[in-house]
Amino acid sequence: MKKRVRMVDIARAANVSRTAVSLILNQVPGMRIAEATRQRVLQVARELRYDPGPRLDELGRVPQRLFGVMINEISSAYPIDLIYGLQSCANAEGLQLIIQVTDGITDRELAALHNFSRFGVEGVIYASSFSTLAEPPKAIDGFRHVLLNCRREDSAGLAVLPAERHGGAVATQHLIDIGCRRIATITGDPWQFASKERLAGYRRTLNKAGLNRGKAYEEVSDWSQGSGHEATRRLLDLPEPPDAIFGQNDVIVRGVLAAAQEAGLRVPQDLAVVGYDDREFAKDLQISSVSLPFTEMAERALLELASEKPIGRRTLFVAGELIERATTGKPAAPQ
């Protein structure tokens, strides 16, 4: 059986102390060791085929900067977009990420922070799979950190969020611009940050145009197709039914379209419809929708974290864009 090469073997062959070998091979920052000594130790380690793990091949190169990411879940489309955006930005900037999934459980968040400390990360991204008010563990204050897709209730620190209120306003203004005057909305869960903000943008835009017809034109759903369908049926039963509906996600809009078809309404001639999120199926169903800019948000958060600027107390809002399709009158692109 081949004898395992140890640090003491390298120290003897290179004629240096075991401490020096440990500092060099573990790339301890701030070590005061001559470059010639460092190179000699690395060369001896290679000749002896010392194999501490995957980092050995990187020892002769400039070490990459390391950052931690903790997120509550990655089981749906939105967090995957966040992770993809973070990883793409890290690759472009020559950074490395350690990603920990915590399920939003405090003990797991603390364990993740412990791991980040052990690996010597420069900073931490605290991310949420949906826009929300967050309560990160107090221990995160020991790290330079940025909140992604969430913020503290007191707005402390730096948070990067989608411009949800702006998105609600853009969707509503588009319906006004195409001539609609009885514009209803179907929100998601009323306690959620996104629901509140999108609704605020909707109301502000209607108030400015003098078209707000009150709460009778505001329905609540649980973000599902079924609840969107039921909400649409209630709206269509109004004495003056809407000529447009802003469904606050694309899944809701699938329910809107089904209810409109059952009622014999043409979309968009009788009922114009705008969704939100720009999910993959929105293109297939030709749903006009406001995009969620998760990739851009992730890039902004990581670049802020990796910069030399003070974090400060800021909330950065990243705006999505309206993609016009057939549900508001734009002809479908030829196949």
Report the share of the chain in percent with pLDDT over 90. 66
* Sheet containing strand 65-71, strands side by side: 95-101, 65-71, 124-134, 145-152, 158-162, 314-318
Place of tokens 């902004």: 300
Region 164-291: CATH code: 3.40.50.2300
Same fold yes or no, 65-162+294-320 and 164-291: yes
Write the CATH number of the domain with boundaries 7-58. Answer: 1.10.260
pTM: 0.76
Residues 6+ apart with CB under 8 A from 262: none
Asked whether residue 248 carries a pLDDT value surpassing 80, the answer given is yes
- Is the pLDDT at 61 greater than 60, yes or no? no
Q: Which CATH number fits domain 65-162+294-320: 3.40.1530.20, 3.40.50.2300, 2.60.300.12, 3.60.20.10?
A: 3.40.50.2300
Q: Within the chain, how many helices (H) and strands (E) appear? A: 11, 12
Can you give the residue ranges of every domain in the chain?
A: 7-58, 65-162+294-320, 164-291
Residue 46's pLDDT is 87
Structure tokens at 114: 């412990």
Cα separation of 162 and 198, whole Å? 11
146-178 pLDDT, tens digit each: 999 999 989 999 999 999 999 999 999 999 999
Model confidence pLDDT, tens digit, residues 85-129: 898 889 888 999 999 999 889 999 999 999 999 999 999 999 998
pLDDT tens digits, 273-299? 999 999 989 999 999 999 999 989 999
Residues near 315 by Cβ (< 8 Å), separated by ≥ 6?
Answer: 151, 155, 158, 159, 160, 161
Q: To the nearest whole number, what is the mean pLDDT of the chain?
A: 89
Which helix (H) or strand (E) segment is 120 a member of? none
